[in-house]
Homo-oligomer: A and B are copies of this chain.
């Protein structure tokens, strides 16, 4: 009786290893199956069921032409449907289910090689044309360049995934993330989950978020009651914790949201974004160690960029987004120069150059990438402008008049770090060799005026007991996506962007 009770309920396809049988095919798979049949010279024609949203409808006396999409086709491609008869009440935005058969298409575009000859349509969910904000643009089928649509979905994020442009960006991101996951696995890196809530605010300089239990706030128990009086923050980088993982597992990486409580009037900064961070041991001494970190990040970024173009749908997405093909960047080596060389270059070419010791401003970074017309690595920045954990170089830099007008002759310290600057975006990756010498680390912490007691585990324990030479880097995922997809505004990259100001959603 017991078994009857449980065996009696429906069990659908539980033995299959793929869900293909358990889920209706996507338009992408229906289309490519029909195209393969055409290529083989077979008639398409077996009965199929297709699901999607109506993008546009054109009624004639004897038949109705629909364009439908389900978000799985590349770029702004749709599937053309030919329905017999003059079908009333079909409007853009409706969710429909169609039965029929695929046949050779009558369109000119490559995406129109096949079309669906339908004999039955069910409207699964209606859409009121008069009030649907995206309706008019969907009818014109010109969302890509329609600034009205762009404005609507910037304000009303919940429509965003229905626009071809954002859908193409999201699909590209997914392809790049998968390529990144596979690259790390192939190279024996272990993915780990460092904490998002953290006790350390040492990098934040105040631009950091606090995490407070809502009940503590409302019952006025003090903002840290949940944490027994400790302060809790949202992480700005998982690096310090990642180092603890690396010093047992040799090669680790993470893909985590990170948070910065910064914001400007222009809202160009995201308060929440995703970072891919890697940390690994066994670096050789000297410049070779740093260049190994550069190599690793260069390989990874190349692989991600390559994935954005891999496959027909990926190419359709990238071409639709107007992303130029980065073929040259995928095969040519990326120039590497030191901060000192970069300053020298800027001082002889740029209108408002830095002096040695100044931070490179965004305009300098973009100038350098544009100048080389390639991603470019800048290494060995001045010690004073970089965080305490970056390894101090043993060689010092002697300032010359072309580097600093008034301080020629000074001996300056640098650290074994780098930024990868890319055309149009600026800084994409940052990384360094980590300071493994406890005395140097303590001196740099003291210089920076940082409290160290809470970081004793990091500074002392990780270094005094088998603190193997290690380094790592972080890639901003939204910046990578912005670069790959030629998307300028961060708000167009992220589904529900978090920026300073009113919070919806």
Contacts and interface: CB of A to CB of B under 8 A. Distances in A.
Q: How many copies does the complex hold?
A: 2
A298 B14 contact: yes
A209 B372 CA distance: 46
Nearest to A330: B17
A181 interface: yes
Interface string A431-475: 000001000000000000000000001100111111111000000
A94 interface: yes
B261 A167 contact: no
A170 B291 contact: no
B191 A22 contact: no
Given A209-B212, A457-B158, A250 B70 contact: yes
Interface in A197-253: 197-201, 204, 206-215, 217-218, 223, 226-234, 241, 244-251
Given A11-B336, A18-B299, A249-B167, A209 B211 contact: yes
Contact of A7 (B13, B51, B187, B335): B335
Contact of A249 (B71, B217, B280): B71
A291 B10 contact: yes
Interface stretch (A393-401, A408-416, A490-498): A490-498
A124 interface: yes
Interface stretch (A75-83, A109-117, A338-346, A356-364): A338-346
A60 B302 CA distance: 50
A310 B505 CA distance: 41
A298 to B, nearest CB: 6
A121 interface: no
A31 interface: no
Interface residues of A, number: 164
A428 interface: no
Given A192-B495, A495-B245, A5 B336 contact: no
A379 interface: yes
A91 to B, nearest CB: 10
Nearest to A95: B468
Interface string A322-351: 000000000101111110010011000000
A158 B210 contact: no
Contacts of A372: 6
Contacts of A51: 250, 281-282, 468
7 contacts: A28-B188, A72-B250, A160-B244, A162-B248, A192-B495, A210-B211, A210-B217
Across the A-B interface, give the 3 residue pairs with the lowest CB-CB distance, nearest first: A161-B248, A71-B249, A95-B468
